Amino acid sequence: MQVIEQLKTMSGERFLAIYRSLEQDGFGPLDGEVAKVLKFRPQAIRKLPMDQRARRAKLILERKSQADLAYELFGSYLMRSCKELVTGFLDGTGVEHEDGMIENVDMAKPAKDKIAGTIADLDKQFPPEDVTLYLSLCAEQWPGVPELDTLWKMR
């Protein structure tokens, strides 16, 4: 699970920044899950500082059974904050998409010979930690494209 491995190496500050970027109306993206674990009513979770909620959310996600939730969280962050990174990768590797959304992931795979060059270009345009995070999602999304996993592990 590349996404979980990426999460485990991520600093608390970086996770907090991602968590805060997805905040809506005072709620973090996983505050419902955090409230369940802490046995809080959903509204009461807002009384805790965001950094405490984010720390607890990170612990919840680090369980292997929460890889799908981590994937969704990071995908949401990237689409909201770094959409040009996502579309740049998809365009650069020839993956058909509609504004960053892929209709059939199994059929639309990145061209293996374009991956390394596209990642090198993205590294020049975007923060490396965002490129690495996206690469971990790609490696998980397309396990049949080993070049993605290899590049991700090299970072």
Do 49 and 96 sit in the same domain of this protein? no
Question: Considering 39, 56, 73, which residue would you say is the last residue of a domain?
Answer: 73
pLDDT in the model for residue 105? 87
Do 57 and 110 sit in the same domain of this protein? no
Number of domains in the chain: 2
Give tens-digit pLDDT for 114-155: 999 999 999 999 999 999 999 999 999 999 999 999 999 999
Domain assignment of residue 134, given as a range: 82-154
Do 130 and 95 sit in the same domain of this protein? yes
Do 98 and 119 sit in the same domain of this protein? yes
Do 6 and 67 sit in the same domain of this protein? yes
Do 149 and 86 sit in the same domain of this protein? yes
pLDDT in the model for residue 65? 74
- pLDDT level of residue 1 (50, 70, 90 thresholds): confident
Do 67 and 97 sit in the same domain of this protein? no
pLDDT in the model for residue 63? 83
Give tens-digit pLDDT for 37-94: 999 998 899 999 999 999 999 999 998 679 999 999 999 999 999 999 999 999 999 9
SS (H, E, C) the chain: CHHHHHHHHCCHHHHHHHHHHCCECCECCCHHHHHHHHCCCHHHHHHCCHHHHHHHHHHHHCCHHHHHHHHHHHHHHHHHHCHHHHHHHHHHCCCCCECCECCCCCCCCCCHHHHHHHHHHHHHHCCHHHHHHHHHHHHHHCCCCHHHHHHHHHC
